[in-house]
């Protein structure tokens, strides 16, 4: 009985260690893709950054595109939060500020890099699409509520989201000026005014 109980923890260790190794590799992958792009991802640098042997990377992900896809999909649920406080303008401003902060992380930079250069690989393209679809779903839910309350005229959530989010991507990717709260307020006000004015003309 004593011997059996002493063996049990040892049997569980390899799985835990393997999971931790995979986590380190996936974390290192998004950092390097964000830094160098897909083309600049090298397994030797990845293994060094993750603190693992290069064979661990090759054994789990013999194809680089599969590794990148898994790393991006792992973060698909990490998206800017769009809360519902009952004040649409405030919610959108906070969303844009949160989005800017998310984009300016290793994961955010990796997603943007993959979006620009990963279209030639179906697996990477699907992973990028999943990340953006998650954000679209968040926007769609809030827009539908806003339309029901009369805060917005009927509008396509994808179109509305692109109008709001595109300036954030430009500010963060260019890095010339910070995306401040004042900028988030200006973008939100311009988009809301434009949507409402267009609706009145129709």
Residue with tokens 């990490």: 78
Query: Residue 102 sits in a domain of what CATH number?
Result: 1.10.357.10
Same domain, 43 and 114: no
Q: What is the pLDDT of residue 10?
A: 39
The CA distance from 145 to 41, in Å, is 42
Same domain for 147 and 67? no
pTM comes to: 0.72
Query: Where do the DSSP E strands lie in the chain?
Result: none
Which CATH number fits the domain that encloses residue 44? 1.10.10.60
pLDDT tens string 95-132: 999 999 988 888 888 888 888 776 777 878 888 887 78
Its domain, for residue 109, covers: 88-201
pLDDT tens for 130-140 read 778 888 888 99
Of 115, 119, 95, nearest to 107 (Cα)? 115
């Amino acid at each position: 009985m004593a011997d059996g109980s002493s063996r049990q923890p040892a049997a569980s260790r390899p799985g835990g260690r393997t999971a931790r190794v995979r986590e380190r590799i996936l974390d290192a992958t998004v950092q390097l893709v964000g830094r160098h792009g897909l083309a600049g991802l090298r397994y030797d640098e990845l293994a060094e950054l993750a603190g693992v042997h290069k064979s661990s990377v090759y054994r789990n992900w013999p194809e680089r595109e599969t590794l990148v896809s898994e790393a991006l999909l792992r973060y698909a649920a990490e998206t800017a939060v769009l809360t519902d406080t009952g004040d649409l303008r405030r919610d959108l401003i906070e969303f844009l500020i949160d989005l800017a902060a998310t984009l300016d992380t290793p994961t955010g930079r990796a997603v943007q890099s993959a979006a620009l250069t990963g279209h030639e690989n179906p697996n990477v393209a699907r992973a990028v699409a999943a990340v953006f679809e998650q954000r679209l779903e968040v926007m769609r839910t809030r827009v539908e509520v806003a339309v029901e309350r009369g805060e917005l005229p009927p509008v396509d959530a994808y179109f509305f989201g692109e109008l709001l989010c595109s300036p954030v991507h430009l500010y963060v990717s260019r890095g010339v000026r910070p995306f401040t709260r004042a900028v988030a307020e200006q973008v939100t006000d311009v988009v809301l005014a434009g949507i409402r004015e267009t609706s009145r003309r129709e």
